[in-house]
Amino acid sequence: MTIIVCDHIHEKGLDILASDSSIKVINAADEPKDILLEKFIPQADIAITRSSTNIDDSFLERAHKLKAIVRAGVGVDNVDIPSCSKLGIVVMNIPTANTIAAVELTMAHLLSCVRKFPYAHNNLKIDKVWRRQDWYGSELKGKKLGIIGFGNIGSRVAKRAQAFEMDIMTYDPYINPCKATDLDIAYTTDFNDILTCDIITIHTPKTDETINIISDEEISRMKDGVILINCARGGLYNERALFNGLKQRKIAMAGIDVFDTEPAIDHPLLDLDNIIVTPHLGANTKESQQNIAIQAAENAISSAKGISYPNALNLPIKESELPDFLRPYLELTQKIGHMSAQLAKSGIQSMRLTTYGEVSEHIESLSTFATVGVLKESLGDQINYVNAKHVAKDRGMEIEKDISESDTGFKNIVTVRLTTQNGSVFKISGTVLGDSAQRIIGIDGYELELEPKGQLILFKNNDEPGVVGDVGHIIAQHKINISDFRLSRDGKGQALAVVKSDGIITKELLSDLEKLEACISVRSAIL
């Protein structure tokens, strides 16, 4: 599979791509766009892009092999998602890598607006004028902050605002109110409540519902001297209404990082003396760019191998409509399904998905991802999230779903159990630790903790002395380094070792391991 890097990303992402010997990487970021389209895009199975490359008709008509696009960033304004969907191209973005950068930029704008630091700076540094009396500001303490949108960014802005002892209220009809109230933050279902605040900041995606969410009417209902902040997306505040409100001093100050049309170098807002502006710096930190590149590279590799499509925007199951905690479980469930099928190496008679915990409310979505994982091993690119269950039915594979009530000590668990046509059964369980740390916690009754990633050898053996050393010795003879070794014993005389290797697992290696006297079975899987 070939991954084309269309635009510049941090070198850490390039290093991750280069380290995977199973894919071909072409870095075309420095190529002129006409050369990129004519020479490189026809070769691409996966493309990594940023805002410099438009995914339009010219791009897509040359993308004969393209299966997925990774937009290294949040915004996908330059991607024709409907056309990609018609062509079966999955579009992914990186929605959380720049979270902290955007949060801290918002706080910078908050402080700049109440203290007018940029203007005071220019007065002293450029005009060489020392007039402290001209720069009396206000304090954040005790001010009422209205936050529109309480997702990854809005909620973190709230936590930081609490440190300034602000009075905080949020409006977000798509969250559980407890997400706010558990943090001692007021939650309202009435948007008019937000308009009574001293300072208003917005942290929502750009949708039909949120475009112009603040316009003339809303501004007229705000208190005189309100401060508005927008470090999210251009167009959430109506720019004409914003200009008028600032000019009339209804709005005392505004902190704006994003505009309807960018670059906004000749914009009427720039002529006003009560606005702080930055040129779309929301993701412009070294840490953010590194995180974006790392996630983009990892997502590109996962999609190239057909393992998963993290943060896909055009799948039948819309991740944006699912709770945040569920997303790593969707990916984990597909990985478990894929791993189970690799271990089975036989026709699948049935798949049973068992869930425990609050993930059970989404068992249908999890079942779709599990089915894709199972069928990916035999059907490769022919299987997707749209046709998975139809294909399973045509192949005579039963899909069963079950919700467990047994307390296992974990908050949530997903288990995929495969029964093959020859009667063999394979069962793998997993959970997510913290917010996103995916772990396999059980394989065929053996308890262990394993990150579902990399090239794995599963060695089942009679539990007797010397086996671990023998396994390590044979792997070393094949010039392969062991990056992780997990061992579990069943207490009945047998054990299971899961070995993660840095090198490619060959048939010869598996054959040599199988010759060990203590060996019961040897299998491999790639995740």
Query: pLDDT band for position 228 (50/70/90)?
Result: very high
Q: Is 280 considered catalytic here? A: yes
In a domain, 123, yes or no: yes
Least confident piece of the model among 250-259, 273-282, 415-424, 461-470: 415-424
In a domain, 483, yes or no: no
In a domain, 234, yes or no: yes
Q: Are residues 73 and 117 in the same domain?
A: no
pLDDT digits (tens, 9 = 90+) for 90-148: 899 887 888 999 999 999 999 999 999 999 999 999 999 999 999 999 999 999 999 99
Over residues 500-507, the mean pLDDT reads 90
Q: Are residues 115 and 206 in the same domain?
A: yes
Look at residue 432 in the predicted model and tell me its pLDDT: 96
Catalytic residue among 233, 338, 352, 417: 233
Strand ranges across the sheet with 251-256 = 186-188, 167-171, 144-148, 199-202, 226-230, 251-256, 275-277
Query: pLDDT band for position 23 (50/70/90)?
Result: very high
Q: Are residues 73 and 116 in the same domain?
A: no
Q: Are residues 297 and 245 in the same domain?
A: no
Q: Are residues 31 and 133 in the same domain?
A: no
Question: How far apart are alpha carbons 302 and 310 in whole angstroms?
Answer: 8
Catalytic residue among 61, 139, 262, 364: 262
pLDDT surpassing 80 at residue 488 = yes
* Percent of the chain surpassing pLDDT 70: 97
Query: Total domain count for the chain?
Result: 2
In a domain, 486, yes or no: no
Q: Are residues 170 and 59 in the same domain?
A: no
In a domain, 413, yes or no: no
Q: Are residues 149 and 254 in the same domain?
A: yes
Secondary structure of residue 179 in the 3-state scheme: helix
Phi, psi at 459, each rounded to 5°: -115, 110
Look at residue 88 in the predicted model and tell me its pLDDT: 78
State how beta strands 425-433 and 437-443 pair: antiparallel
Q: Are residues 82 and 222 in the same domain?
A: no
Instruction: Report the CATH number that the domain containing residue 125 is assigned in CATH.
Output: 3.40.50.720
Q: Are residues 116 and 203 in the same domain?
A: yes
pLDDT digits (tens, 9 = 90+) for 363-407: 999 999 999 899 887 766 556 675 677 778 877 889 999 999 887
Secondary structure of residue 484 in the 3-state scheme: strand
In a domain, 311, yes or no: no
Is the CB of residue 47 less than 8 Å from the CB of residue 4? yes
Is the CB of residue 175 less than 8 Å from the CB of residue 124? no
Look at residue 422 in the predicted model and tell me its pLDDT: 80
Catalytic residue among 50, 280, 327, 486: 280
pTM: 0.61
In a domain, 520, yes or no: no
Q: Are residues 141 and 222 in the same domain?
A: yes
pLDDT surpassing 60 at residue 413 = yes
Q: Are residues 221 and 138 in the same domain?
A: yes
- Return mean pLDDT, the chain: 92
Domain span at residue 73 reads: 1-96+283-305
In a domain, 384, yes or no: no
Whether a cis peptide bond, with omega within 30° of 0, leads into 263 is yes
Q: Are residues 151 and 216 in the same domain?
A: yes
Look at residue 377 in the predicted model and tell me its pLDDT: 77
Q: Which ranges constitute the DSSP H helices of 226-362?
A: 239-247, 286-304, 327-344
Task: Return the structure tokens found at 189.
Answer: 């279902």
Look at residue 124 in the predicted model and tell me its pLDDT: 95
Q: Is 287 considered catalytic here? A: no
Q: Is 8 considered catalytic here? A: no
Strand ranges across the sheet with 348-356 = 398-403, 348-356, 413-420, 425-433, 437-443, 446-450
